[in-house]
Structure 1
Amino acid sequence: MEMKKYNLDILFLGGVFKEGEIMKQSKSNVQFAANVLQWNIIEGLDYLNEQPVNLLSAIFIGSYPKYYKKILIQRKDWSHLPGAKDKEVKFWNIPILKKFSRGWSLSKEIMIWAQQKNERKKVIIAYSMDYSILSALKSAKVSNSEIITCLIVPDLPQFMNLSSSKNYSYKLLKNIESDLISQLQKYVDSYVLLTKHMADFLKIQNKPYVVIEGMVNFKDQTTYLDRRREEQEKSRKTILYTGTLNEKYGILNLLKAFELIKDKNYRLQICGTGEAEKDIVEMAKQDNRIDFRGRVSREEAILLQKNATVLINPRNSEGEFTKYSFPSKIMEYLVSGVPTIAYSLPGMPEEYKDYMYFIKDNTVQGIANTIINVCETNPIQLKKFGEASRKFVLSEKNNIRQVEKIMNIL
């Protein structure tokens, strides 16, 4: 893939991690989607820049003791490519203190990097609109005002963690953090947004930005369909959902819709953790066609996706947050080559309309009808549709093309 090469001193600032150890220590959902997106961006940067980027990470994990087994995360020095200087910072993994501890450690390391002499232009590409990330950007700009900063905004702080069980104290602290983040935005020179609506919400005026709803890895061209199981039980229809099990993401509506489908050859597979787990377990006891896998590794999720009849995202357009999000699972679904069922969300670009089956009726019956209509489609036609969707994201939304858009606004 021939692309223009850049010669910048790039630091990637985020929460990227190696998955093995995180899986062992986590007690809840691992942030696979955020990790995959970060690694895809890093690989794109490495491809387009003459020198490998350096990584500075305060790894994205749940807090001790409820979601993670370790209270103190130790510093690690490593290298993802020859010549790269990568660091995972030390921080206390306790609610509230965690934010400040991460910020202090990141700021300390980033000031050292900012003050190092280099003939190449210094650029920081930061991932996540998080207080600790933005406070580190401030430290970098104060240390060296010539540094160019670019913030990737995958989610807005106000709409992160949509669990209905969050209490008043949590929401109050979230509002305080949002105010602090707003004050720190002046240290951001440019933005990468997931939807066009984010620009208005963040009041981005004269600063450059680009909308990138997601990306897939260009290397996936030789790994997915080649391994997909071709021989399946033709009579069995498997509907698969992988992701967070929160009511606001439509998982309970999916269960109710499946209850309306009486055909014994239909199967519903669900992977993930979240507030709706108890409801799913209860329904699985009543209906043996429901296969609840709980938390699975990313590799297992991908294998299940490749062997499903259809993949589904039941998140509908209700709620303001849908304007500011593009579900990461959509990219993962499309690249699998298996047809995807979803709602057309406000943050979804028009170009996706030819590559997904959309639920038009925003009711439980509407979900059920769409599942049946798609699953009963001729298998050859379904396969062609899935392959076309896969080809679309691999050619138009691969990480090299998407990251080049970021490089262009720098």
Structure 2
Amino acid sequence: MTPADVEVLYVSSVPSPEQFVAMQGELLPSAQQVTYGMPESGFKFHSLIQRGLLDNGARVTSLVGRSATPTFYRGGWWRRVVDRPRPSLVVDHRGFPNVRVLKQAHLAASLAAGALRWRLRTRGRQRFVVVDAAYVSALPGVLAATRGVTRVAVFADVYTFMADVSDASSRSGARYRAVRRVVGRTYRSIDRFVLLTRQMDDVVNPLGRPSIVMEGLVDADMAASDNVLEAKDEQLTVLYSGALRREYGLAHLVDGFRAWDHPSARLVVYGGGDFAPDVAAAAAADPRVEFRGTAPNAEVVAAQQRAWLLVNPRPADQEFTAYSFPSKNMEYLVSGTAVLTTRLPGMPPEYDEHVLTIDGSSAADVTAALERAAALGRTALHERGDRARRFVLERKNHRTQGLRIVQLALGESHD
């Protein structure tokens, strides 16, 4: 069998591009997209997986439970929306009442019903199911409705460590312990595992079922976007783009940069989040710090390509980092600009020669790393970034990773 003969059911909270934009328009004024719902990084991750399946010839039916709650989005009834962005892709956004508790129960039943209809419709064909393992409220019903079909779960996070989920933000309490038990039992019904890091395997796959590690993927079409040395900023520019959260090491980045005795360097920061006021205050106090807030993706990508260095200061000494590989690192690497990151335990050794590292989790460690990187000079940094870009485009592009998932589901994986 080839991927062109395969029907795929994809169950997640990832909307079509049109619905993603529409949902942002429904956010309440006090809400921030980076702190709840489907952030852009998650949207890109799952959308690229779907594109990888499609580009390998599979036919994909995407069942979507949009991640909206009355706390952050307008209430009332959210109607069903069916999009067909490509001939071989149907994106079915299920309708739901945006009412606390009722919404999750309604969507769980609706997604299970949609999965059952897909199972009946595709009888006799080569097929498999892909589920976002983080969608814990939908998993039991979808897995029950697709019994007898190979189910592949994509783990971009481990539920135990998902601080953004309201009932998992604390590791104590009866509600959290009950949810954790249910999730653990649900994961035992999964047939194949796509894991962000190898360390996840012991946590979510106690039965040792077939799995692959897919720490990320990049858009193969980025090969057409050149990063040219002559277009680099004349001024030494260090750039951070993404969610501005204190737990992501932003305080160490800002303090470490400001302690760096390099008068002509500048730190450019894009993004929003609870640390944004601190970045704005740093920009007001230090003319070398520039806070640009949230901006269109095209503007951010262009700024990444002009910068000398892209930095990710996420602390490497916290327990959850063994189960994470920031999508930011993949986004940075494919830009063609040199990357400076902490030594995250979930980062495979093959990346070591393609990144510069922050050896520690303090502001002083950031300062030392910036000094080492700047000493290489603009040309050497550009050459390192170009090598890293070619590495991820050749080895981690969405078509290659999509094919690995198909092979895993069909029992043809060579990992």
- Name the TM-score, length of structure 2 as normaliser: 0.88
**Residue pairs, 1:80-99, within 5 angstroms:** 80-99=85-104
**Residue number among 36, 42, 55 corresponding to 1:34 in the alignment:** 42
User: Does 2:61 correspond to 1:54?
Assistant: yes
Q: 1:220 deviation in Å?
A: 1.3
Q: 1:400 deviation in Å?
A: 1.5
Query: How far does the alpha carbon of each residue in 1:105-132 deviate from its partner, in whole angstroms, 9 at most, with x for none?
Result: 2112112112225331231111232223
Contact 2:4–2:59 (8 Å) recurs in 1:
no
Contact 2:160–2:180 (8 Å) recurs in 1:
yes
CA distance in 2, matches of 1:183, 1:352: 34
Q: Which moved more, 1:71-80 or 1:193-202?
A: 71-80
- 2:412 aligns with none
Query: How far does the alpha carbon of each residue in 1:246-290 deviate from its partner, in whole angstroms, 9 at most, with x for none?
Result: 222111111110120243322212222222223222222222322
- 1:380 aligns with 379
CA distance in 1, matches of 2:403, 2:371: 40
Query: How far does the alpha carbon of each residue in 1:202-238 deviate from its partner, in whole angstroms, 9 at most, with x for none?
Result: 243231111110011112111243xx6834442x222
CA distance in 1, matches of 2:98, 2:249: 31
Label 1:230 to 1:399 Cα distance change in 2 as closer, same or farther (>3 A).
Answer: same
CA distance in 1, matches of 2:314, 2:115: 38
Contact 2:308–2:382 (8 Å) recurs in 1:
no
The residue identity in structure 2 corresponding to 1:341 is L
Q: 1:192 deviation in Å?
A: 0.4
Q: 1:306 deviation in Å?
A: 1.4
Question: Helix, strand or coil for the counterpart of 2:230?
Answer: coil
The residue identity in structure 1 corresponding to 2:11 is L
The residue identity in structure 1 corresponding to 2:62 is L
The residue identity in structure 1 corresponding to 2:348 is P
User: Does 2:139 correspond to 1:131?
Assistant: no
Label 1:108 to 1:252 Cα distance change in 2 as closer, same or farther (>3 A).
Answer: same
- 1:352 aligns with 351
Q: 1:244 deviation in Å?
A: 1.9
Contact 1:261–1:368 (8 Å) recurs in 2:
yes
Q: 1:324 deviation in Å?
A: 0.3
Question: Helix, strand or coil for the counterpart of 1:330?
Answer: helix
CA distance in 2, matches of 1:60, 1:76: 14
CA distance in 1, matches of 2:55, 2:353: 30
Label 1:304 to 1:172 Cα distance change in 2 as closer, same or farther (>3 A).
Answer: farther
Q: Which moved more, 1:264-273 or 1:146-155?
A: 264-273
- 1:237 aligns with 236
CA distance in 2, matches of 1:90, 1:285: 46
The residue identity in structure 1 corresponding to 2:356 is Y
CA RMSD in angstroms comes to: 2.5
- 1:311 aligns with 310
**Residue pairs, 1:114-125, within 5 angstroms:** 114-125=119-130
Label 1:249 to 1:233 Cα distance change in 2 as closer, same or farther (>3 A).
Answer: closer
**Residue number among 48, 51, 69 corresponding to 1:43 in the alignment:** 51
Question: Helix, strand or coil for the counterpart of 2:207?
Answer: coil
The residue identity in structure 1 corresponding to 2:80 is R
The residue identity in structure 2 corresponding to 1:48 is N
Contact 1:162–1:248 (8 Å) recurs in 2:
no
Contact 1:163–1:248 (8 Å) recurs in 2:
no
CA distance in 2, matches of 1:150, 1:192: 7
Label 1:293 to 1:71 Cα distance change in 2 as closer, same or farther (>3 A).
Answer: farther
CA distance in 2, matches of 1:251, 1:163: 21
- Name the TM-score, length of structure 1 as normaliser: 0.89
The residue identity in structure 2 corresponding to 1:240 is L
Contact 1:157–1:174 (8 Å) recurs in 2:
no
Q: Which runs of 5+ in 2 are unaligned?
A: 410-415
Label 1:58 to 1:387 Cα distance change in 2 as closer, same or farther (>3 A).
Answer: same
Q: 1:393 deviation in Å?
A: 0.2
Contact 1:305–1:336 (8 Å) recurs in 2:
yes
Query: How far does the alpha carbon of each residue in 1:169-192 deviate from its partner, in whole angstroms, 9 at most, with x for none?
Result: 997644443322222223311110
Question: Helix, strand or coil for the counterpart of 1:187?
Answer: coil
The residue identity in structure 1 corresponding to 2:192 is S
User: Does 2:78 correspond to 1:64?
Assistant: no
Question: Helix, strand or coil for the counterpart of 2:188?
Answer: helix
Total equivalences in the alignment: 398
CA distance in 2, matches of 1:293, 1:69: 28
The residue identity in structure 2 corresponding to 1:52 is R
- 1:12 aligns with 10
